[in-house]
Amino acid sequence: MTAELSLPTLVTPALATLATEEGMANLAATLTAALAHATHRSEARSESLCVNHQPVVTRSSHGSLMFFMPALSENAPPRRVAMFDRRGRMLLLCAWTPEGDLGRFKVRGLDGRFLGVFRDAASHLGWGRSDSVVLLAGERGFVIDHTLTIFASVEYENIEFLPPLDAPASLPVGGGSTVLNVLAALGQDQQKTVMRYRGPYPTERLFATLCESFRYSGEPGPSRERFTQSAEERAVQLSMAETTIDWRPSPHERFFPASDTCVQLRDGVEKMYDRGRTYYRPDLAVSAYALRTERLEEGQTRYTAGLTILGQSVEEHLVLDTTGEIIERRDVPPAPYLRGSTRLSDEWKAVLVRLIATESTPLLRSALWPVMDELTLVWGGVQGNLWAHAGTEIFLHAGIVAAFRAAVAKIRSAGEGLLLAARFTSELARFLGPLIRTLAQERLAALSPQAQQVSLLFSSTTAHGVSDNELRAFLSRLVLGEELPIPE
C-alpha cells in the first residue's frame, strides 16, 4: 500500500457522493458516525477501517474504495454498499433492504454508463424467476432508460451458482463481465471458494468472460472443452444443468483515467476500453486489440495498447503505466504501401472458411462458404482496425502483411515456417470468425423454414474448405512469400 487511509481526503468525498443517492443519506450518516470510532488494519493487498473487527471501508492496492454496512456482529457476513475508483468515481451501489436483502444494484460499465439490476423483475420460459438488467439514465438514482435483458434470479445474500443470461448481445460492450464481476465481488465477500455456472449457454464466449472475474484450476484447453461440452443440445433444450468447472471469485477493479477510457486491473492491467475499442492482455484473451506488457530497466511495467498479430505490433495507440494511468496517446502512422495484387485469392478464402468452421457450431458450417464466396477480401484501405467491413468487401490492414513477412525473416527451418504460417492464418480466421458467423446466421435466418431444414440436413462435424494436403501446400507457399503482396 502506498499510504494509510486518510478520512478527510479519501473517505469524506466518497460519502458525500453516496449521500446524494436516492435513499442513501441516512446510511452515509451512519457510516460517517461509525468511522469516527474505527480502527485501522493493514494487510498485504489492502487496508481497512474496521468496527467490531469488521471492515466498514477498505482501500485496495489499486486504490479502489469499498464501503460495507456496519456489521451487527463479528460473524455477520459483510454487505457491500458502494465502490469508488481511486479518482472518486462511483463504480457500484448496492441497495439493501432493512431485512438484509439486496433488492437492486447499479454498476458502471466500460463506457461509463450505469447498468441497473432489479431483483425478481421478470420471468423466463426456461428458468422462471429472473432479474432484469437495464440501462440507467444519468448519474444519480435508479431511473430506467430502457430494459436490456434478464438472467436467472440470484440469491445475492448467499450466492450458490452463476446464472444464465438471456440475450448477452443486447448489452453494451463488456456488459456481461460488468454484471458477473459484481457476483464475483459478492461471492468473495461471502468467502465462496467454488461457484458453478448453471444454465443452458456454456459457450466459449462465456468461459472467456468468466475468466475476467473468476479463477479455475486445470489447463485452459481441457477446461474450456469441459465447460462447453454439449452446449448446443443444452441451448436447444434450455437445460439448467451445472457445468463441472469450479470457479473461485477473483473480481477485477476498474479505474477511469479519462472520461472515455476504462482500465481493468487485477494482476496488473488486464483489459482496457478506450473510445469504443477493447484491448486485452494476451494471457486473458486473444484479440486483435492487445495490451503488450513491457518490463523496463527500472523494474517498472508499462503497457502498450494497439493492434497486434503474431505478437507483433501493427499499430500503437496508447501507453499506460503499471497503475493504469495514461502516459501517452500515439499518432497512428500511415499503413505501408503494397505492391502486387492486393485481392485475396479463392484459396485464401477457402483456408479461412476451414479454420473458421473448426470453431463454429455444425449448424452454421453449411452457410459459411456461401457467405465467404460472396465477399471480396482486400489487403489495405483501413487504419485503426485490423479489418473493416463495407457491403460485400472486407479490408485487411496492410500492416498485417508487413508483420508476417518480418516474422518469416526470423525463422530458422521449414518446420518453423509452417508453424508460423499456420498461426498466422489461424489468428486471421479467429479475428474474422465472428463477422463471418454473424453473416451466416443472418443468411440462415432469411431462408424459409423448409430451406433451413435442408441446410441443417447438410450440416456436419467435418472440416469445410480445403483438404489437409491443400492446406499444407498453401501454408508452404505463404512462407515462400507467395499469396501475399509486398510492403514498401
Question: With 80 as the cut, is the pLDDT of residue 315 above it?
Answer: yes
Closest CA to 322 of 304, 345, 337: 304
Cβ contact 226:261 at 8 Å: no
Confidence of residue 43 (pLDDT cuts 50, 70, 90): confident
Question: With 50 as the cut, is the pLDDT of residue 139 above it?
Answer: yes
The pLDDT, as a whole number, for residue 389 is: 95
User: pLDDT > 70: what percent of the chain?
Assistant: 94
The pLDDT, as a whole number, for residue 455 is: 55
Tell me the C-alpha distance between 394 and 381, whole Å: 10
Mean pLDDT of the chain: 90
The pLDDT, as a whole number, for residue 15 is: 95
The pLDDT, as a whole number, for residue 108 is: 98
Confidence of residue 1 (pLDDT cuts 50, 70, 90): very low
Cβ contact 345:276 at 8 Å: no
215 grid coordinates: 479463477
The pLDDT, as a whole number, for residue 444 is: 80
Confidence of residue 209 (pLDDT cuts 50, 70, 90): very high
The pLDDT, as a whole number, for residue 3 is: 43
Q: Which long-range contacts (CB under 8 A, 24 or more apart) does 139-145 make?
A: 139/90, 139/114, 140/20, 140/21, 140/22, 141/21, 141/22, 142/22, 142/95, 142/104, 142/106, 142/116, 142/118, 144/116
DSSP string, 252-283: -EEEEEETTEEEEEESEEEEEEETTEEEE-TT
The pLDDT, as a whole number, for residue 332 is: 86
The average pLDDT across 270-284 equals 93
List pLDDT tens digits, range 353-363: 999 988 877 77
List pLDDT tens digits, range 379-411: 998 988 999 999 999 999 999 999 999 999 999
Question: With 60 as the cut, is the pLDDT of residue 58 above it?
Answer: yes
The pLDDT, as a whole number, for residue 364 is: 77
23 grid coordinates: 435513499
Tell me the C-alpha distance between 199 and 195, whole Å: 13
269 grid coordinates: 492491467
3-state secondary structure of 143: coil
The pLDDT, as a whole number, for residue 445 is: 79
List the chain domain ranges. Answer: 7-198, 254-329, 338-487
Helix (H) or strand (E) holding 450: helix 449-457
The pLDDT, as a whole number, for residue 2 is: 42
Q: Which residue has the cell 452454421?
A: 364
Question: With 90 as the cut, is the pLDDT of residue 367 above it?
Answer: no
Residue type for position 165: L
Running DSSP on this structure, what letter comes out for residue 160?
-
Listed range (38-52, 126-140, 308-322, 472-486) with the worst mean pLDDT: 38-52
Confidence (pTM): 0.89
The pLDDT, as a whole number, for residue 142 is: 96
User: What's the 3-state SS for 9-31?
Assistant: HHHHHHHHHHHCCCCCHHHHHHH
The average pLDDT across 313-340 equals 92
Instruction: Show Cβ contacts of residue 263 under 8 Å, excluding neighbours closer than 6 positions.
Output: 254, 255, 256, 257, 269, 271, 272, 320, 324
Question: Dihedral (C-alpha) 463, 466, 472, 476: value to the nearest 10 degrees?
Answer: -140
List pLDDT tens digits, range 424-467: 999 999 999 989 988 988 888 777 766 655 655 555 544 456 88
The pLDDT, as a whole number, for residue 195 is: 96
Query: Radius of gyration (Cα) for the chain, nearest Å?
Result: 25
Tell me the C-alpha distance between 375 and 398, whole Å: 18
Tell me the C-alpha distance between 291 and 303, whole Å: 6
The pLDDT, as a whole number, for residue 276 is: 92
List pLDDT tens digits, range 289-302: 999 999 887 778 99
List pLDDT tens digits, range 212-267: 999 999 999 899 999 998 887 888 788 999 999 999 999 999 999 998 999 999 99
Q: Where are the alpha helices (DSSP H) in 173-230?
A: 175-189, 204-210, 220-228
